[in-house]
Structure 1
Amino acid sequence: MPPSKRKARAAPKPAKKRVNTTTRATSQTPLPEAMDSSAPSQLLDNNNAVIDYDQLAAAIIRQQQQAATFSSPVEANPAPAASGSTNGECQPFINTLQQFFSGSQEICPMVGPTASNSTRSSTIHLSQSSMQLLKASVSTSTKQLYLRSYTLLHKFCAIQNVPFSLPFTEVLICNFIGDLFQQGYSPSTITSHVSAISYLHKLCNLPDPTHSFIVRKTIKGTHNLAKSGDIRLPITKSILIKLLSALHHTVQEADTRVFLSTIFLLAFHAFMRLGELVARSSVYNTKVIQRQDLLFLDDNSVQHILRHSKNMKDGQPIVLTLAANYINPQLCPIRALKTFTSLYQHKSGPLFTFKSGHPVNHSFVAAQLKHAI
């Protein structure tokens, strides 16, 4: 074969190598799907069959940016989305909490006037009857205790410069428990405040952080480090006799000794709490036993009606009848009540009053009991 023909056929070889180089470059770095059909026209000059490396580099950079865009939101920031969702779920309950705690003497900062009008208009649409049932599930005293707990937590968050919003974290609750313990709160009181936080999360249908391991162990630590346990003892018959005898040494006024003895005997024989006999404040004067609710059936028995009690669930008054104790007249409640009503002849209002007519308060009786003990 003539040499000239061999040279003519060998001329296209460099172009083939460049095409193969293009194939190797594109196979090593895959291009986006949107560019597959147009890649030859974009990356090659048809006249010279040369790779446009600037466009190739730009395509690779765009592909890497697209991969980072699809992967980074899932891996980097899951928490803010969950937090915003949680706060949104809790917002509709603000109006419900306002209605639920309405009428209380204290103001709960969680449901105070700081909420916007748009927030208040977003309710969970509880009917009047269901809201009434929800209110009735918690006693007035428990509502006031819960509001007190929220107020303490709100002050703690303000001091620590942390947001006061649901849901509260386990660390915040543990630090709150530690702060209460440092202030001298008893373990039982701290547990009550934690229960209020738990109730609020359940009411807002949020996960309850107070049941976590670290919170429970922190509460357990308050019990272990408490200085002393509960030293209160139940009043037995022998202790009651000593108390009645001690009143002659601790109380000078005979009239005062009469109503104190009657209170002790009535509480002992009728299994009544001191708060059911005498009020802690004037607000509760109508909730203690009233004079018109005491009725002597005969010389041997007396009947009294208990209209308000901590454990009263159906709201129906409790009628109690006491019989005379002839074996030990010193401990007879009927005899004590007759002596008391002969000295204090008021016909209405709280049963136990001073000579001035003012109701006997809880703190006075508790102080006299402490002195007698």
Structure 2
Amino acid sequence: MRESLSPSTQTAYRSIFEKYAKFVARLETNNSNSTANITPELVALFIADCYKQGLAVATVQTYISALGFFAKLKGLTDVSQTFAIKRMLSGYQKKHISCDTRLPITPIILSKLIHSLPFVCKSMFSRVLVKAMYLLAFHAFLRIGEITGTKDNHGNCIRKENVKILSSPDEQNKHIELTFSTFKHSAGKHIPTIVIKENSIQNLCPVKAICDYCNLRDSKDGPFFKFMDDSPVSRQYFTQHLQASLAWAGYDYKHYKGHSFRIGAATTAAEKGINEEKIQAMGRWHSAAYKKYIRIHSITLD
């Protein structure tokens, strides 16, 4: 049953259970079997504690899903499906309405980020690397965890074998075929292939950016985006460069995160009139969650 979860989800769920176990320990329960303590009564108190901490609704929902999973793993009642817990979460959502303040990186902002690179990157390699990451993140609706990793945990990182650069029969045009070995919520789901075509504006073309990066990258397997020493590009490195690019372009980087590329891609697709089903497929969403990523603030009617 554990194998039904992706490695990153397993890690997250273990962390959540540790938080819950510490909370139960603070209540000084006498039951030594902490897993058996996943009861509706204790989980209700845990939710109340989360509310006091001001945690987001989505975070608490993930916590309860994890606890429900561990309960089922031990043959216990899935607390996440009990009436009382469902009602508590419903009330939590009504009382704790939060607004996602992350702004989308639009094509205009993306262009400015690309133009910032000669000023914020210290080497030619880093300019080529970060440019490829910016453009692929936007055009492929990528999560930051799909382009960054750590030495010991590549997680859902795109690997070299996932990226193919192909030419048309007449060799006049190129495109990228991007596949995924795994991605968030991919367990048991169809693994799609994303096709990215050339852009007529050379400096903003994702295909050219990837080709330029591949000319510098060696042919070794492993995370696609990596440094010369083979270590994967870290989230911290990417975030630092994104913040520097935004500051150079005159934007307040506090309102933009790595996920802003994904938000911007969904918003741009919606503004272009691409149908919802295709947007959902492009972003690999398996529910209506993609609608939260579309940030169209005004519509002009002719």
If the TM-score is normalised by the length of the shorter chain, which range does it land in? 0.5 to 0.7
Deviation, 1:194, is 1.4
Question: How many Å separate the matches in 2 of 1:286 and 1:170?
Answer: 32
Question: How many Å separate the matches in 2 of 1:296 and 1:215?
Answer: 49
Deviation, 1:284, is 3.3
Counterpart of 2:17 in structure 1: which amino acid? Y
> Residue 361 in 1 paired to residue 251 in 2?
no
> Residue 198 in 1 paired to residue 65 in 2?
no
CA deviations on 1:154-173 (whole Å, 9 max, x unpaired) are 21121111134636444422
Q: Are the structure 2 counterparts of residues 294 and 182 from structure 1 closer, same or farther at C-alpha, using a change threshold of 3 Å?
A: same
> Residue 231 in 1 paired to residue 98 in 2?
no
Question: How many Å separate the matches in 2 of 1:210 and 1:314?
Answer: 21
Question: How many Å separate the matches in 2 of 1:316 and 1:227?
Answer: 33
Q: Is the 8 A contact 1:350 1:359 kept in 2?
A: yes
TM value normalised by structure 1: 0.54
Q: Which residue of 1 aligns with 2:154?
A: 285
Deviation, 1:183, is 4.3
Question: How many Å separate the matches in 1 of 2:154 and 2:24?
Answer: 36
> Residue 332 in 1 paired to residue 205 in 2?
yes
> Residue 145 in 1 paired to residue 20 in 2?
no
Written as runs of structure 1 = structure 2, the 5 A alignment for 1:113-124 is none
Deviation, 1:360, is 0.9
CA deviations on 1:181-208 (whole Å, 9 max, x unpaired) are 4445433222211122223344455444
Q: Please, which runs of 5 or more residues in structure 1 have no aligned partner? A: 1-133
Counterpart of 2:210 in structure 1: which amino acid? L
> Residue 295 in 1 paired to residue 164 in 2?
yes
Please, which moves more after superposition, 355-364 or 206-215? 206-215
Question: How many Å separate the matches in 1 of 2:113 and 2:132?
Answer: 12
Question: How many Å separate the matches in 2 of 1:212 and 1:320?
Answer: 39
SS of alignment partner, residue 101 of structure 2: coil
Q: Which residue of 2 aligns with 1:270?
A: 140
Please list every run of at least 4 consecutive aligned residues from structure 1 whose deviation after the TM superposition is greater than 6 angstroms: none
Question: How many Å separate the matches in 1 of 2:179 and 2:36?
Answer: 44
Q: Is the 8 A contact 2:177 2:193 kept in 1?
A: yes
Written as runs of structure 1 = structure 2, the 5 A alignment for 1:337-352 is 337-352=210-225
Please, which moves more after superposition, 151-160 or 175-184? 175-184
RMSD across aligned C-alpha pairs, in angstroms? 3.2
Q: Please, which runs of 5 or more residues in structure 2 have no aligned partner? A: 168-172, 247-252, 254-302
Question: How many Å separate the matches in 1 of 2:96 and 2:113?
Answer: 29
> Residue 255 in 1 paired to residue 125 in 2?
yes
Counterpart of 2:21 in structure 1: which amino acid? H
Question: How many Å separate the matches in 2 of 1:312 and 1:365?
Answer: 24
Counterpart of 1:302 in structure 2: which amino acid? I
Deviation, 1:263, is 0.8
Percentage of identical aligned residues: 27
- Larger RCO of the pair (alpha carbons < 8 Å, separation 6+): 2
Question: How many Å separate the matches in 2 of 1:349 and 1:292?
Answer: 8
Q: Are the structure 2 counterparts of residues 155 and 347 from structure 1 closer, same or farther at C-alpha, using a change threshold of 3 Å?
A: closer
Q: Which residue of 1 aligns with 2:196?
A: 322
CA deviations on 1:85-134 (whole Å, 9 max, x unpaired) are xxxxxxxxxxxxxxxxxxxxxxxxxxxxxxxxxxxxxxxxxxxxxxxxx3
Question: How many Å separate the matches in 2 of 1:325 and 1:259?
Answer: 18
State which structure, 1 or 2, has the greater radius of gyration over its C-alpha atoms.
1
Q: Are the structure 2 counterparts of residues 176 and 363 from structure 1 closer, same or farther at C-alpha, using a change threshold of 3 Å?
A: same
Question: How many Å separate the matches in 2 of 1:251 and 1:277?
Answer: 18
Q: Which residue of 2 aligns with 1:82?
A: none
Q: Is the 8 A contact 1:297 1:303 kept in 2?
A: yes
Deviation, 1:313, is 4.5
Q: Is the 8 A contact 1:324 1:335 kept in 2?
A: yes
Counterpart of 1:338 in structure 2: which amino acid? C
Q: Are the structure 2 counterparts of residues 186 and 315 from structure 1 closer, same or farther at C-alpha, using a change threshold of 3 Å?
A: closer
Question: How many Å separate the matches in 1 of 2:14 and 2:20?
Answer: 10
SS of alignment partner, residue 100 of structure 2: coil
Deviation, 1:265, is 0.8
Question: How many Å separate the matches in 2 of 1:255 and 1:136?
Answer: 38
Q: Are the structure 2 counterparts of residues 228 and 242 from structure 1 closer, same or farther at C-alpha, using a change threshold of 3 Å?
A: farther
